[in-house]
Structure 1
Amino acid sequence: MLRLNLVLLLAVLASALYLVSTQYESRRLYVELEKATAHSRQIETDNERLQLEKRAQATPLRVEKLARDRLQMRTATPAITQYVTYQEAAVAGVPHE
């Protein structure tokens, strides 16, 4: 009878220790999951902010302003446009395809 009681006591202690370690691991994984979820939300927020900034930077008015200021480009007008016809290209020695 004493052997049976000792075996049962050891079985109860082993199952109790296993239960404690399982609960600890479960809590640790839950905290890790919450951290990953928070990090994911932060990345999504950053992505939305960057997409908004990208759209703001690519507006036609801003691109035109940068082209004028930094590249010294100007709008094409008939006064500064030079048209090339096929005959002029042949005379100039430009091969045609």
Structure 2
Amino acid sequence: MSRLSILFAALLMISALSLVTARFQSRQLFVQLDQLEDKARDLDTDWRRLQLERAELARNARIDAVARDELKMVNATPDRTIYIQGVAPTASGQAAVEGRP
């Protein structure tokens, strides 16, 4: 009978240690889950901020302002435009361009 009670006591101790270990691991996993959820929220916030920033940078008014301010560009006006009149290619000129005699 005493051997049986020692066996049950040992099984009870092993069971208790297993329970403590399982609870400890459960708490660690819960803390890790909470940290990862916080990181996911931070990454989601950064993603949305970057999307807004990209939309702002792609706006036509912003592009126009940067072109005018930083690149010193101006709109093309008819008086600043150079028109070149070309000569229509002839049959012999077209053959020379294509490499035929």
CA RMSD, Structure 1 to Structure 2 (Å): 1.9
Partners of 1:6 and 1:75 in 2: how far apart? 96
Is 1:32 the counterpart of 2:27? The answer is: no
Letter in 2 for 1:82: I
Partners of 1:86 and 1:6 in 2: how far apart? 109
TM norm structure 1: 0.82
Q: Which runs of 4+ in 1 moved over 4 A?
A: none
Is 1:41 the counterpart of 2:41? The answer is: yes
TM norm structure 2: 0.79
Partners of 2:85 and 2:16 in 1: how far apart? 93
> Identity over the aligned pairs, expressed in percent?
38
Q: How does 1:82-93 map to 2 (within 5 A)?
A: 82-87=82-87
Contiguous gaps of at least 5 residues in structure 1: 89-95
Q: Which has the larger radius of gyration?
A: 2
Which residue number in structure 2 is paired with residue 75 of structure 1?
75
Letter in 2 for 1:30: F
Contiguous gaps of at least 5 residues in structure 2: 89-96
Deviation of the 1:65 alpha carbon: 1.2
